[in-house]
Amino acid sequence: MEKTPHRKAANSIRPPATSIGVIGWMRANLFNGWLNSILTLVVGYLLLLTIPSFVKWAFINSNWFTTSEQCKAGSGACWSVITANIRFILFGFYPHQLQWRPLLAVLILILLLFFSQNRKYWKKSLAYVWLLGLFSMGLLLKGGLGLEVVDSDSWGGLPLTLLLSVFGLTAAYPFGVILALGRQSDMPVIKSFSVVYIELIRGVPLISMLFMSSVVFPLFLPEGVTFNKILRAQIAIILFTAAYIAEVVRGGLQGMNRGQYEAAESLGLNYFQAMRLIILPQALKIVIPPSMGILISAFKDTSLVVIIALYDLLKTTQTTLTDPKWMGFSAEAYLFVALIYFVCCYAMSNYSRRLEKELDTSL
């Protein structure tokens, strides 16, 4: 290598075929080193073993719109269990001819969520639109104002799942903020009440709260006063979620610069003014992404109401499966419900990741 090659010649020499293109990519990402090569082969073999048979089961040999007898005769997946019972799975015992109402309510919610994800619309008016939307959803489900009244005992399916999680988070948020402020407070009584509440709730499983809502809440009320199961479960979910929100908000409050508190005080603002005008607007902005995380887990956790026999999405699916006609097709039905949950949670977690990047003002 005494002679340095001409510039022109150097430019025209292509890299070896084994380090570019498909082969190069495979060498760099799949077969770099003997351990990785073995891993690739093992994983590839396992995939080859499972994927074709799954595709065959789920798509090629599957039944989509048949009766249960035809399903039992076939060898593939029986998606008919869903197509035949879709209205019951999605809406539960809601009166059949009125099911457009929960459908519309769910569509309104999806539309609202879709608009709210654009930060251009984050103004005060959006809050009013949300209030209006939530009110109209409630109206659609419950009836009244000219619509036929539907008793809340027959609410079920997807609207119930969404209702419990969205209303739960909305109502728990203010409560959680108050608890977080209480925990940060200098007043020993308020601080200790908040700490005890937060740690107590975070230490127990949601199911114990739900048990409490179904068997202990009725004992708390004076004689003759009862309120329905859904509301009781909703209260339990709110009480539970608030403790988690409080911890997230506390993170935001602690993340604030000390100077902000001091600046607010030196302006002569009292505690409430300082919180409302200076501290909370900034602290709550920091905690938007982790709050999404709480929304996701609240959404997943609402499925636990199955245990106290509320007809949410999971319970309606289970009920379908107890029908002798459709017994034995649990895999298909549960996969369908899992898909609904996955799509919702994935969209939310993706959005929260994007938001985290957009809102990150640090350098």
Site of interaction with other proteins (CB under 8 A) = 29-30, 32, 36, 39-40, 43-44, 186-190, 193, 199-200, 202-208, 211-212, 215-216, 218-223, 271, 296, 300-301, 303-304, 306-307, 314, 318, 328, 330-331, 334, 337-338, 341-342, 345-346, 349
Distance CA(186)–CA(343), nearest Å, equals: 44
Residues 6 or more apart in contact with residue 193 via CB below 8 angstroms: 182
Distance CA(162)–CA(168), nearest Å, equals: 9
Distance CA(160)–CA(167), nearest Å, equals: 10
- Shortest spacing between CB 120 and other proteins, in angstroms: 28
- Shortest spacing between CB 14 and other proteins, in angstroms: 24
Q: Which is nearer to other proteins, 93 or 341 (CB)?
A: 341
Torsion, Cα of 10, 14, 19, 24 (10° steps): 150
- Shortest spacing between CB 270 and other proteins, in angstroms: 8
Tokens 């479960």 sit on residue: 233
Q: Which is nearer to other proteins, 61 or 136 (CB)?
A: 61
Q: Which is nearer to other proteins, 27 or 142 (CB)?
A: 27
Tokens of 207: 């199911």
CB 263 within 8 A of CB 202: no
Burial 11-31 (b: 16+ CB within 10 A, else e): eeeeeeeeeeeeeeeeeeeee
Q: Which is nearer to other proteins, 27 or 87 (CB)?
A: 27
- Shortest spacing between CB 297 and other proteins, in angstroms: 9
Q: Which is nearer to other proteins, 29 or 136 (CB)?
A: 29
Three-class secondary structure of residue 147 per DSSP: strand
Q: Which is nearer to other proteins, 126 or 355 (CB)?
A: 355
Distance CA(70)–CA(248), nearest Å, equals: 52
Q: Which is nearer to other proteins, 144 or 218 (CB)?
A: 218
Counting beta carbons within 10 angstroms of the beta carbon of residue 321, is it exposed (0 to 12), middle (13 to 18) or buried (19 or more)? middle
- Shortest spacing between CB 137 and other proteins, in angstroms: 23
Q: Which is nearer to other proteins, 40 or 260 (CB)?
A: 40
CB 169 within 8 A of CB 298: yes
- Shortest spacing between CB 268 and other proteins, in angstroms: 11
CB 306 within 8 A of CB 318: yes
Ramachandran category for residue 73: left, alpha or beta (phi over 0 → left; psi -120 to 50 → alpha) = alpha
Distance CA(360)–CA(19), nearest Å, equals: 38
Tokens of 300: 């997943």
